[in-house]
């Protein structure tokens, strides 16, 4: 790989937006990725007719299942970590979040945007992933205090139905 071409996290060239807005104090985003759907556990099946010693073909699923994003957000003194997300200020727990989301007519779109160096003002050269029909499905509301700990970061889990590629 040529020197200086690696994508470095924390460089400011990768961003994540939820409902069109960045999340203040977002530490990490973990996309579980989409897999082919199956109700049997595997997204493929060996077709093995009677009288044959080996399978005659392999059938694969042509349908993607939904997936999740786990966001890790720094908690501040004055508000819960999930309140950094667009539209979530003033909610106190996951049920209030569900109520707030149920009153919203549309799902949210989230995006990971990768801006290679030198393209900050050229959106046509950016790439990334667009997450469609995003909804919050869980928040890390437990508390662990550690002597010597320097910060408190907690998760928010969002589900999405599908993705498309930016660019």
Structure letter (DSSP) for residue 36: B
Least Cα distance to 125 among 134, 133, 116 occurs for: 116
Per-residue pLDDT, 1 = 42
Residue 132 near residue 98, CB atoms below 8 Å: no
Q: Can you tell me the distance from the alpha carbon of 30 to that of 20, in angstroms, rounded to the nearest whole number?
A: 18
The whole model's pTM is what?
A: 0.83
pLDDT of residue 120: 81
Q: What is the pLDDT of residue 14?
A: 85
Nearest to 164 by CA among 120, 121, 135, 132: 132
Each domain of the chain, given as residue ranges in start order, spans 14-34+66-166
Q: What angle do CA 154, 159, 163 make, to 5 degrees?
A: 120
Low-confidence ranges of the chain (pLDDT < 70): 1-5, 7-11
At residue 10, the pLDDT reads 63
123-147: per-residue pLDDT in tens? Answer: 888 899 999 999 999 999 988 888 8
């Amino acid at each position: 790989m040529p020197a200086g071409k690696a994508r470095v996290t924390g460089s400011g060239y990768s961003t994540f937006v939820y409902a069109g807005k960045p999340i203040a104090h977002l530490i990490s985003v973990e996309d579980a990725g989409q897999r082919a759907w199956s109700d049997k556990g595997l997204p493929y099946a060996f077709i093995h007719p009677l009288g044959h010693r080996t399978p005659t073909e392999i059938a694969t699923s042509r349908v993607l299942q939904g997936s999740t994003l786990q966001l890790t957000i720094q908690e501040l003194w004055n508000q819960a970590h999930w309140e950094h997300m667009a539209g979530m200020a003033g909610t106190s727990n996951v049920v209030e979040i569900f109520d707030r989301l149920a009153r919203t007519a549309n799902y949210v779109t989230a995006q990971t945007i990768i801006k290679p160096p030198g393209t900050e003002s050229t959106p046509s050269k950016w790439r990334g992933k667009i997450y469609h029909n995003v909804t919050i499905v869980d928040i890390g509301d437990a508390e662990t205090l550690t002597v010597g700990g320097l910060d408190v970061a907690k998760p928010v889990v969002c589900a999405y139905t599908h993705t498309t590629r930016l660019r």
